[in-house]
Structure 1
């Protein structure tokens, strides 16, 4: 068992005061037999009350409102969590039996949402790859790991070439991106091979074997392995997710797992500051939250993008 202490700061700085901010957060770590949350504290601008509920996929969701004018929004999450190693699948059942088990379970409530892939420009290429590698003649466990290695080997980890709104087509054409992009690609490839797969958001903790994704939230997939359950697979690091991966949320895609999103009133620009610090020792120097030093950056204004999406949907419905 390893204990991690995680401090996650999200700070929005606005060009002018906004009002009636409604925010949804997925910053409550999953609590189960492999991940035990010892303590968790969330503090929000103006000491806003954070109300919680469980969504359809079992994630704990937090919501809060700030009605008064504010020119910044700060969300600080502090977690102490115990991570417990889990055994890898023994993969002893024969190939045919395992694929038949997947077919038998494909319409069950905890599986059905994670089977349908999204078509994109690389779909035909992926199907040819699955056929050429004869993945249906291998166990689902080995097939998923082989696809993970393919993404890791054929996509370059480059920060800044994509953003949260980059499409599968763009990432596939670039053959580059960050953890979210690697995860989105592998998610579709695994589903196209007939294996249920779900998106996971969380944190990656310091390790000699893991070099990518520290300092912010991380993403990977979980593939459903017959007679075992959900297995975390990290294409960014070509690794099986285990004690160094702390899970925040699972879902069909990024939209089901995004750590922070919301809307507000008034048209402004915003800057986003995110910092995640992880340690195995409890007493560590605090991370300072920067003051509002709005610079005019538009690239990370996720609040404004969410507001525009809602307005577009309302116009289409009308």
Structure 2
């Protein structure tokens, strides 16, 4: 059970001092049985006039900062330490009716899962639908875990990862046609594919642990990372990272989950000034393994 430490620095720079609107920061990991938060810190420069904490509709922890005065830069430095329990060879204890695809969700789950099953992007020629169904054998029955693992690893094997600085997510049909995109593009493509098969999927934002930045092991480090979860009866929400072909939580640090990527943006806010005042943003993320457990017994939000 490695102890992982994350340092995430985001810096905005401006041509002249500007005023700032409200900023929402989503960096604090979700405590769970497979990752236990030990410590979390948040430093903001210039210091905000107020900082409050809240849970959003999905239970993600969000910090909301407000500011007075002006500055030509704005920096957010987030630090977390957590105990991470990886699943190196995940075997999901699926309910008997869900061991093979196709399967259906129970009546008690459907009211809560229905919005996560709905398709969110247009697919007028059913290209994403056809791609998802290409993983189903002619006889129409396949172990559910094999189906999702094949889809996850196919993206890693057949698509090219490209870091994109543009905001938002690439249309899944475009990702499928180009066979290239960022981690968030691949996550949304697979989400739409899974939804086309009638399964519930949601977007995950967080961090990727990649020792020594080994590109043979993983791509997508050095910034925030994105993947998806699929709800499987008997197992619950299971992680799938199509960018790296990861099934299960190995090397994935979960921060936020959402139905749509726009609901899990790690940091967003506004400034008051001209468009030409914006000199850009720089993001630095470092994830390392710590050799010893820090002497911190319980996490407390920074206020």
Confirm or deny a common fold (TM above 0.5). yes
274, 277, 293: which one aligns with 2:286: 277
**Per-residue deviation at 1:91?**
4.5
**Per-residue deviation at 1:279?**
1.3
The aligned runs of 1:180-191 (5 Å cut-off) are 180-191=184-195
161, 185, 205: which one aligns with 2:209: 205
166, 176, 187: which one aligns with 1:172: 176
147, 151, 155: which one aligns with 1:147: 151
- Per-residue CA deviations over 1:160-205 (Å, capped at 9, x if unaligned) read 4x72234314333322112111111111111111110000000011
Report whether the alignment pairs 1:264 with 2:271: yes
Aligned-pair RMSD on alpha carbons?
2.4
CA spacing shift, 1:250–1:95, aligned 2, 3 Å: closer
Checking the alignment, whether the CA contact within 8 Å between 1:41 and 1:78 is kept in structure 2 is: yes
Map of 2:86 onto structure 1: 85
Q: Counterpart of 1:102 in 2: which secondary structure?
A: coil
Distance in 2 between residues matched to 1:5 and 1:67, nearest whole Å: 32
What TM-score do you get using the length of structure 1 for normalisation?
A: 0.80
Checking the alignment, whether the CA contact within 8 Å between 2:206 and 2:256 is kept in structure 1 is: yes
Distance in 2 between residues matched to 1:35 and 1:194, nearest whole Å: 29
Q: Counterpart of 2:249 in 1: which secondary structure?
A: coil
Map of 2:115 onto structure 1: 113
Q: Note the residue ranges of structure 1 that are not aligned, 5 or more in a row.
A: 284-318
Distance in 1 between residues matched to 2:279 and 2:234, nearest whole Å: 48
The aligned runs of 1:1-318 (5 Å cut-off) are 1-48=1-48, 49-86=50-87, 87-91=90-94, 93=96, 95=98, 99-105=102-108, 107-109=110-112, 111-121=113-123, 124-134=126-136, 137-160=141-164, 163-168=166-171, 169-207=173-211, 210-267=217-274, 268-281=277-290
Query: Number of residues paired by the alignment?
Result: 281
Checking the alignment, whether the CA contact within 8 Å between 1:2 and 1:243 is kept in structure 2 is: no
Q: Counterpart of 1:104 in 2: which secondary structure?
A: coil
Q: Note the residue ranges of structure 2 that are not aligned, 5 or more in a row.
A: 293-303
**Per-residue deviation at 1:97?**
7.7
**Per-residue deviation at 1:83?**
0.6
Distance in 1 between residues matched to 2:37 and 2:206, nearest whole Å: 13
User: Higher relative contact order by CA 8 Å / sep ≥ 6: 1 or 2?
Assistant: 2
**Per-residue deviation at 1:256?**
1.0
- Per-residue CA deviations over 1:191-231 (Å, capped at 9, x if unaligned) read 11111000000001125773211111100000111110111
**Greater helix percent: which structure?**
1
Distance in 2 between residues matched to 1:14 and 1:271, nearest whole Å: 7
